[in-house]
Chain A
Amino acid sequence: GQQVMQIPQYQHVQEGEDFTTYCNSSTTLSNIQWYKQRPGGHPVFLIQLVKSGEVKKQKRLTFQFGEAKKNSSLHITATQTTDVGTYFCAGPRNTDKLIFGTGTRLQVFP
Chain B
Amino acid sequence: EADIYQTPRYLVIGTGKKITLECSQTMGHDKMYWYQQDPGMELHLIHYSYGVNSTEKGDLSSESTVSRIRTEHFPLTLESARPSHTSQYLCASSRMEGYSPLHFGNGTRLTVT
Interface residues, chain A, with chain B CB atoms under 8 Å away: 1, 30-31, 33, 35, 41-45, 48, 50, 86, 88, 90, 92-93, 96-103, 105
Residue B43 interfacial (CB < 8 Å): yes
Interface residues, chain B, with chain A CB atoms under 8 Å away: 31, 33, 35, 40-45, 48, 58-59, 90, 98-99, 101-107
Interface of B is mostly: loop
Interface of A is mostly: strand
Q: Which residue of B lies closest to A92 (CB)?
A: B99
- A98 contact from B45, B90, B103, Cβ within 8 A: B45
Chain A: minimal CB distance from B29 (Å): 13
Contact at A86–B40, with CB atoms within 8 Å? yes
Contact at A98–B102, with CB atoms within 8 Å? yes
Contact at B42–A33, with CB atoms within 8 Å? no
- B102 contact from A30, A41, A45, A101, Cβ within 8 A: A45
Q: Which residue of B lies closest to A103 (CB)?
A: B42
Contact at B40–A105, with CB atoms within 8 Å? yes
A1-B59, A42-B104, A86-B40 are contacts. A99–B99 as well, Cβ < 8 Å? Answer: no
Chain A: minimal CB distance from B20 (Å): 20
| Chain B residues, Cβ within 8 Å of A42 | 90, 104-107
